[in-house]
Amino acid sequence: MTYELSQLAPGSYDVLLDGTVVASLVRSDQTESSIWTVELLEEGLPGSMPKPFTKPEHTFGSLGEAWQWLRGARINYPGGEA
């Protein structure tokens, strides 16, 4: 399983798994205390969710924490990849 993040706008990403959009990742606001939330697009039973999901929504204190949780997903920015 390979995750990718495709930036839609600052603070907003599609989460792709093997090339298919399965979740969204968004920042709550632009403050130092902003929360990043990754949410599955389709809620399934816990056993049918892609790893590392254990529930439909997970929150993080930074983009880096979410990126690490998604197993170091490649990040694609508009106009190029990073």
Contact of 1 with 50, CB cutoff 8 Å: yes
Contact of 70 with 5, CB cutoff 8 Å: yes
Q: Whole-model pTM?
A: 0.86
Q: Which residue has the tokens 């920042």?
A: 27
Would you kindly state where each structural domain of the chain is located, as residue ranges?
Answer: 3-81
- By C-alpha distance, which of 47, 55, 49, 25 is closest to 37? 25
Q: Per-residue pLDDT tens for 10-42?
A: 999 999 999 999 999 999 988 888 999 999 998
Average pLDDT, the chain: 90
